[in-house]
Amino acid sequence: MKRVVFVVSLCCCQFVFAQIAETRFFFASKQCRDSVAIQLQQQVERTVQLPLNNETYDNWMGAFWAMELMLYKPAVYTSIIPSQINELPTLGPGFQRSFFEMLYTLYPDEFNEEVKLIWQQLKSDKVKAMALEYLALSNVLVDVNADKAFVKSVYFPAYSYIRNKKSSSLPSKNLFLDTSFLNGQTVLCSFQSTDRNKPGYLTIRTADGYWLTDEKGKEYRFPQLARAISNLPFYLTNGNTPQGLYRINGFDTSDNNWIGPTTNLQMCLPFEKAKLPFFDKDTAYQAVYENLLGASLNQYKSLWESFTAGKLGRTEIIAHGTTIDPDFYKSRSYYPNTPSLGCLCSPEMWNEKGERIYSSQAEWIAVLMQLEQQPVYLIVAEVSDL
């Protein structure tokens, strides 16, 4: 979850991590949240007064991140966007990517004509895909075949897949109990809606092929959001959590303030470098992945999204808690959940003192740690019977 961010002086929010217990985290306190939000807004407002050049790129990219995080649209900025879109072809691909992530997140439907004029001039196939996805939000059609280089790129198949995805059928939940799917293994299953604004849930399939239940016989279902703040498609950096298989790499505690101190689950995508990589070296990657899914699930192309995303270079998707202030998202249907940069995010609540008073993340991690057989894989899937 790496990102260009502002260097925020936390003032009253400075503290020593080692001195704070897991259930108390001052960064999540009202005092600190209010202070950080004010500072971020102030830095955004200062940045939108700056020219756009080599010396200010970092300021602008940091501003875009903060605007996305808070869903904050500075009043003066809207009038500046058309001129920035005109300048985009002369700027680097890193800045272009950051810009389109912000535009997709905060200004859908507003700048289609400007984007149509410059999308073929963008510096990378990934950024061209982002521009095309932005236009697709408004059902704006362009002749993609006019850019022969993009059509031949590794991003074109994923872009085309998204265009046809709505007509695809969804697996039912009980298909994940099929013995052809990781038979004899404990599996973490994150079941989601096709509308990522609706939170899904994490459940656990036991090694003997049942859903894990509590002492009253009720199936465990832990709330979990698989939506990125951008809501970009799965194959793009910081897009929604891809469906499909992930290799589990154990537990960890993050030093990222926005994730917080609750134990997280480390995972890796196919092709991602990791301590416990998804594939062994020199394996028949497609055949291995197909075998892991098994006969019943292989018919669903959606369950190959993690394979595609990993091949295109996505990394650092984990399952974690959150200290992001949910008040940023009061008007959104996923509230009080908080979106991430594409990770699986379980809701947590913190009181004004920064004490954790509820954590779906801590609950399922505690259950998981007690299992006799630890899972090797997690699967994310949009299902027909959520």
Q: Is the model's pLDDT at 2 over the cut of 80?
A: no
| Mean pLDDT of all residues belonging to the chain | 93
Average pLDDT, stretch 38-55? 95
Q: What is the band of 236 on the pLDDT scale with cuts at 50, 70, 90?
A: very high
> Contact, 303 vs 380, CB < 8 A?
no
Do residues 145 and 204 both lie within one domain? no
336 part of a folded domain = yes
Indicate the residue type of 212.
L
In this predicted structure, what is the pLDDT of residue 22? 53
Whether the pLDDT of residue 4 is over 60: the answer is no
Residue 25 lies in a domain: no
Query: For the CA atoms of the chain, what is the radius of gyration?
Result: 21
Whether residue 126 sits in one domain with residue 199: no
115 in the same domain as 161? yes
Task: Let me know whether 360 and 267 are in one domain.
Answer: yes
What is the pLDDT at residue 18? 33
Contact 86, 71 (CB under 8 A): no
User: Is it the case that residue 19 has pLDDT exceeding 50?
Assistant: no
Tokens of 281: 């070296």
Say which amino acid occupies 340.
Answer: S
Rounded Cα distance, 375 and 324, in Å: 28
Please give the pLDDT value at position 72.
98
Q: Using CA atoms, how far apart are residues 323 and 256, in angstroms rounded to an integer?
A: 10
CATH code of the domain covering residue 367: 2.40.440.10
Side-chain half-sphere exposure of 15, counting CA atoms within 13 A: 17
Helices (H), the chain: 30-47, 57-70, 81-87, 93-106, 112-118, 125-137, 148-151, 156-164, 285-293, 305-311, 360-369
pLDDT of residue 336 exceeding 50, the answer is yes
148 with 217, same domain: the answer is: no
Token code pair at residue 366 = 């505690």
What percentage of the chain carries pLDDT values higher than 70? 94
Burial of 294 (0-12, 13-18, 19+ CB in 10 A): middle
Query: What are the pLDDT digits (tens) for 177-228?
Result: 999 999 999 999 999 999 999 999 999 999 999 999 999 999 999 999 999 9
Query: Domain residues for 231?
Result: 186-382
Number of domains in the chain: 2
Specify whether 200 is located in the same domain as 250.
yes
In a shared domain, residues 163 and 191: no
**What's the pLDDT tens digit per position in 274-302?**
999 999 988 999 999 999 999 999 999 99
| Residues 96-143: tens digit of each pLDDT | 999 999 999 999 999 999 999 999 999 999 999 999 999 999 999 899
